[in-house]
Copies of this chain bind each other. A is one copy, B any other.
Amino acid sequence: MNTISVKRPSFSGVARIKTIVIAGGAGFVGSHLCERFINQGHRVVCVDNLQTGSRDNIASLLAHHDFRFVLHDVTAPLALDGPVHEIYNMACTASPPRYQLDPIHTFRTCTDGAMNLLNLARDKGAKVLLSSTSEVYGDPEISLQHEGYRGNVNTCGPRACYDEGKRAAETLFWEYGAHLGVQTRIARIFNTYGPRMHPDDGRVVSNFIVQALRGQDLTIYGNGSQTRSFCYIDDLVDGLIALMASDEKMPVNLGNPDEFTMLELARKVLDKTGASVGLINQPLPQDDPRQRRPDISRAAELLGWAPKVALDQGLDLTIRWFWSVLNAQSVEARVS
């Protein structure tokens, strides 16, 4: 459990404490935002339906007097008392096997969720940030994806409920920003990893680490030459906060442009965990992107932001966290 130090933020000597709503606040990225803002002395309203988010992720915050948890599904309108200054819309799992379990709900989380949080922002005069995704680029035909690239998304396929849902959410954010005077922000988040990823999330970093720590062979989809870039969670949180603080309404990529093949990542995980396991191959899933790498020049220019944590360092931190989680699980299993 993390210790929370309350440091009220100070601007020109005057503390400005904000009320910040984090939709999806019990999820991987959302819970890190909650923790960061509580540590900065802000009031946090964490809204989550706990479909994929977990109370464990916010366990250290639940008792804090500035932290409030609201069990709510953002597909329904959200009413909150009192002022709200900022809203982070982090709702909707980014894990394909999980969002494909109920694709219509996934889609509605993206679209109705966006609309409900935009309406809350409009009613409260709050700023509102959308966690969009590199998935809006689909299976990109260009090796470095800039925000002007319009993507290569299949509207009629197993990833569409999420990809098209997020594209549609961007459109809603753009409309509210351009025509309804709402202070909107759109972050296109690329692959992110770190503590609090779900062990069964189904994405490559957690898959590899969990398999290695469990002594299982690492699953490589396709021939393993497809590439991804991985951003450590703390870097992403810095980027999201910098984007909210800016006045940029058009989409901004947030991610780490260092690119690795799946085989390179697998070798790193095997080296670091010391696992003596092999690799097994599985067919590439339909519509799986062959490459993903953010052009972050807009983020650098507009926000002065760039990721700082190298993959080796971030993997060490993540492996350590997974090790403690899996250890605790196996202790629980032995005790019960």
Stretch at the interface among A85-93, A153-161, A221-229: A153-161
> Quick check: B179 and A150 within 8 Å, CB to CB?
no
Q: A152-B150, A164-B168 are in contact. Are A175 and B111 (CB under 8 A)?
A: no
A153–B153 Cα distance when bound, in Å, is: 10
Judged by a CB distance under 8 angstroms, whether A74 is at the interface is no
> Quick check: B150 and A153 within 8 Å, CB to CB?
yes
Stoichiometry (number of copies): 2
A49–B113 Cα distance when bound, in Å, is: 26
Chain B contacts for A151, CB-based, 8 A: 150, 153
User: What class of interface size applies to chain A in its complex with B?
Assistant: 20 to 34
Chain B residue with Cβ nearest A186: B156
> Quick check: A103 and B175 within 8 Å, CB to CB?
yes
> Quick check: A171 and B175 within 8 Å, CB to CB?
no
> Quick check: B161 and A171 within 8 Å, CB to CB?
yes
Query: Which of A154, A155, A170, A175 is most buried by chain B, counting CB atoms within 10 A of its CB?
Result: A155
Chain B contacts for A150, CB-based, 8 A: 138, 151-155
A156–B104 Cα distance when bound, in Å, is: 23
Q: A155-B174, A175-B103, A179-B103 are in contact. Are A164 and B167 (CB under 8 A)?
A: yes
Q: Within A157-183, which residues are at the interface with B (CB < 8 Å)?
A: 157, 160-161, 164-165, 167-168, 170-176, 179
> Quick check: B186 and A170 within 8 Å, CB to CB?
no
Chain B residue with Cβ nearest A138: B150
Chain B contacts for A136, CB-based, 8 A: 155
Judged by a CB distance under 8 angstroms, whether A107 is at the interface is yes
Chain B contacts for A171, CB-based, 8 A: 107, 155-156, 160-161, 164-165
Q: Within A58-101, which residues are at the interface with B (CB < 8 Å)?
A: none
Contact surface of A with B, Cβ cutoff 8 Å:
103-104, 107, 111, 115, 136, 138, 150-157, 160-161, 164-165, 167-168, 170-176, 179, 186, 250-251
Q: A104-B176, A161-B175 provided; 13 other pairs, C-beta below 8 A?
A: A103-B175, A104-B172, A107-B171, A136-B155, A138-B150, A150-B152, A155-B170, A155-B171, A156-B171, A156-B250, A160-B174, A161-B171, A165-B171
25 pairs from A and B in contact (CB 8 Å cutoff)? A103-B179, A104-B172, A104-B176, A107-B168, A107-B171, A107-B172, A150-B153, A150-B155, A153-B167, A155-B170, A155-B171, A155-B174, A155-B251, A156-B170, A156-B174, A156-B251, A160-B171, A161-B171, A164-B164, A164-B167, A164-B170, A165-B168, A165-B171, A167-B168, A168-B168
